[in-house]
């Protein structure tokens, strides 16, 4: 198995949360065993940290990628245009920790797209990264409920019109469902490479258009990074849940060099499968949740069957797929043990993958968990 390690260094902070010397010491055994394929870190502004990492990794012949948030985070940075929810405010955020929060930017804003590239050019380009891994490339998931979905700024409303949708009708529907209608009527009919089919035609079309918008927007950002000679990776939700945040792995995979689907079975926070599945139940109702389980697999044994089916589907994609699963522990939201790491490693190997992304923060991975991998 080959590994692409990742490390979270903080959000706009001048000083990295992680220490380059400690990270390199943890990576060395993997490099010496010939298993270190690449390393990604981001997105604090501590340039000395990246310089030190880049210098050492280059000497090892290992590519170094900048992990970079796109449509959320950069908290405190005033340069972005926010989303406008169906209810009229911003999409509410879920705070994971003081360093990791989730607020959303409008993906159709050309200014937002340019600002991401400008942040890269202004701060990170001199480091000489080999690529970027784009993170937070989504709308708010069901964590904000149906009324927090999508964007209803003037520009997005015009795009909905152009694509044959009535934004006011969508808003009314989202708000009505968020008041309880979902508990009785919403159903997930089927899932294919275009996403889920939902029994309400207005929502069905809206969900699909959100994906199209993200693909169009992200396509421009990916192309611009590639023009700079950089490899591009994408950090994605588990495909069965990503659709509700505007992500379709099949389509997004075509614009990147690799994708990293987050198959987080043990995380009680955004992107975690149990967490997002529970948000689906709360937002779409019990019947839709039962549909999800029937189609995607049992929640027994920490959603093991869901992860297995996701891996089978991901194995059919034509792009490179590096599955990600938790190796760090972040009490109380994720408690990863060596047994759980071994269990996930086993699933990924059985599915035929040769590269994984031990997630999501090398700086917080206990030695006993890392030992399972090497």
Of residues 251, 267, 186, the one with CA closest to residue 212:
251
For Zn ion, the closer of residues 78 and 227 by Cβ is 78
For Zn ion, the closer of residues 70 and 263 by Cβ is 70
Instruction: Determine contact, residues 38/65, Cβ cutoff 8 Å.
Output: yes
Closest contact distance (angstroms) between CB of 150 and Zn ion is 8
- The dihedral built from the CA positions of residue 177, 87, 99 and 40, taken in this order, carries a sign that is positive
Q: Is 153 in the site for Zn ion (CB under 5 A)?
A: yes
For Zn ion, the closer of residues 153 and 317 by Cβ is 153
Kind and range of the H or E element at 134?
A: strand 131-135
List 106, 221, 238, 314, residue binding Zn ion (CB under 5 A): 106
State the Cα–Cα distance between residues 358 and 246, nearest whole angstrom.
Answer: 24
State the Cα–Cα distance between residues 171 and 84, nearest whole angstrom.
Answer: 11
List 151, 182, 348, 370, residue binding Zn ion (CB under 5 A): 151
Instruction: Determine contact, residues 68/131, Cβ cutoff 8 Å.
Output: no
Closest contact distance (angstroms) between CB of 213 and Zn ion is 9
Of residues 310, 324, 190, the one with CA closest to residue 241:
310
Closest contact distance (angstroms) between CB of 282 and Zn ion is 25
Closest contact distance (angstroms) between CB of 159 and Zn ion is 8
Q: Is 174 in the site for Zn ion (CB under 5 A)?
A: no
List 156, 211, 221, 348, residue binding Zn ion (CB under 5 A): 156
For Zn ion, the closer of residues 106 and 234 by Cβ is 106
Q: Is 236 in the site for Zn ion (CB under 5 A)?
A: no
What are the Cα distances from residue 195, in Å, to 236, 240, 249, 255? 14, 8, 9, 18
By CB under 5 A, the count of residues binding Zn ion is: 4
For Zn ion, the closer of residues 42 and 150 by Cβ is 150
For Zn ion, the closer of residues 146 and 151 by Cβ is 151
Asked if the bond preceding 332 is cis, omega within 30° of 0, the reply is: yes
For Zn ion, the closer of residues 159 and 348 by Cβ is 159
State the Cα–Cα distance between residues 139 and 104, nearest whole angstrom.
Answer: 7
What are the Cα distances from residue 85, in Å, to 176, 177, 182, 312? 14, 14, 18, 35
In this chain, which stretch among 59-67, 144-152, 300-308, 343-351 interacts with Zn ion, using CB under 5 A?
144-152
DSSP structural state of residue 46: -
Closest contact distance (angstroms) between CB of 142 and Zn ion is 19
In this chain, which stretch among 146-154, 200-208, 277-285, 306-314 interacts with Zn ion, using CB under 5 A?
146-154
For Zn ion, the closer of residues 73 and 310 by Cβ is 73
Q: Is 284 in the site for Zn ion (CB under 5 A)?
A: no
Closest contact distance (angstroms) between CB of 200 and Zn ion is 22
Q: Is 316 exposed, middle or buried (0-12, 13-18, 19+ CB in 10 A)?
A: exposed
Kind and range of the H or E element at 309?
A: helix 300-314
Binding site for Zn ion (CB under 5 A): 106, 151, 153, 156
């Amino acid at each position: 198995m080959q590994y692409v390690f990742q490390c979270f260094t903080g959000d706009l902070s001048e000083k990295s949360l992680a220490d380059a010397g400690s990270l390199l010491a943890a990576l060395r055994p993997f490099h010496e065993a010939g298993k270190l394929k690449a390393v990604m870190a981001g997105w604090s502004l501590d340039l000395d940290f990246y310089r030190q990492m880049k210098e050492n990794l280059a000497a090892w012949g290992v590519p170094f990628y900048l992990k970079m948030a796109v449509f959320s985070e950069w908290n405190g940075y005033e340069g972005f245009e926010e989303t406008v929810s169906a209810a009229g405010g911003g999409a509410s955020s879920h705070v994971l920790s003081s360093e990791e929060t989730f607020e959303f930017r409008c993906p159709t804003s050309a200014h937002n797209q340019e600002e991401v590239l400008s942040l890269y050019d202004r701060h990170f380009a001199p480091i000489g990264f080999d690529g970027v891994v784009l993170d937070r490339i989504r709308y708010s998931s069901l964590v904000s409920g149906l009324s927090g979905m999508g964007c209803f700024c003037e520009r997005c409303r015009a795009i909905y019109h152009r694509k044959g949708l009535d934004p006011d009708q969508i808003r009314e529907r989202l708000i009505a469902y968020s008041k309880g209608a979902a508990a009785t009527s919403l159903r997930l009919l089927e899932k294919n490479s275009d996403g889920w089919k939902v029994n309400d035609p207005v929502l069905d079309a809206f969900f699909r258009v959100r994906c199209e918008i993200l693909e169009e927007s992200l396509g421009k950002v990916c192309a611009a990074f590639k023009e700079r000679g950089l490899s591009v990776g994408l950090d994605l939700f588990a495909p069965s849940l990503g659709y509700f945040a505007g992500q379709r792995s099949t389509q997004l995979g075509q614009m990147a060099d690799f994708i990293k689907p987050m198959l987080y079975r043990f995380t009680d926070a955004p992107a975690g499968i149990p967490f997002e599945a529970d948000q689906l139940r709360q937002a779409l109702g019990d019947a839709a949740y039962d549909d999800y389980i029937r189609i995607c697999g049992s929640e027994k044994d920490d959603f093991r069957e869901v992860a297995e089916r996701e891996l089978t589907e991901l194995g059919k994609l034509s792009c490179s797929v590096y599955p990600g699963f938790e190796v760090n522990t972040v009490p109380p939201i994720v408690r990863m043990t060596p047994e759980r790491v071994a269990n996930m490693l086993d699933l990924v190997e059985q599915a035929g993958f040769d590269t994984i992304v031990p997630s999501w923060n090398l700086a917080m991975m206990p030695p006993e968990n890392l030992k399972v991998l090497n």
